[in-house]
Amino acid sequence: MEESKEEAEAALQKKYSSMVERLNKRHQSRSDNNNESESSSSPAFESTSSFLTRFSNLKSSIESQFTHSHSLFSSDPSQFKPHFEQISTSISHLEKLIAENSYFLPSYDVRSFLKTITDLKHTLETLIFQLLPKKKFSFKNMATTKKDTTNNNNNNTVTPQESK
């Protein structure tokens, strides 16, 4: 009987230790998940200084793309549209970065950053206007149909002298 009690106590001790081990693992995995979710839910650039460096780097890269546009103009004009679309995407990425971090920034800084983005967009529009050729507008199809109708009207008109 004592052997069965000892075996029962040993089995109970095993169950207890495995239960404690499972609870510890569960607690550890939950704490890891909480740490990951906290870091992913908050923006990566919570400090103003790190945001400023990131903003400055992105802005300077966009401005370098603007200067690259002039060299692209002389070398390969067929690459204009993809190049300008890439610049536009970079500007919208910068705008999204400001929106994500506006919670941590003073309102004056947010307004000045948005003004900078407006200036970048205006510069992009100016470059597009200067470098891309304008589409020519003409009434080619309309002109040919008008000529045909005027010729038909001249041939079919009856002058008053002929009708007498």
For 125-143, write each residue's pLDDT tens digit: 998 888 776 777 767 665 5
pLDDT of residue 45: 44
Q: How many angstroms separate the Cα of 32 from the Cα of each of 36, 40, 56?
A: 6, 12, 34
pLDDT of residue 139: 72
> Residue 10 is encoded by which pair of tokens?
């040993």
Residue 3 DSSP SS3: helix
pLDDT of residue 53: 92
Cβ neighbors of 93 (< 8 A, separation 6 or more) are: 58
Q: What angle do CA 128, 132, 136 make, to 5 degrees?
A: 125
Please state the pTM of the whole predicted model.
0.54
Mean pLDDT of 16-29: 84
Confidence of residue 4 (pLDDT cuts 50, 70, 90): confident
pLDDT of residue 117: 95
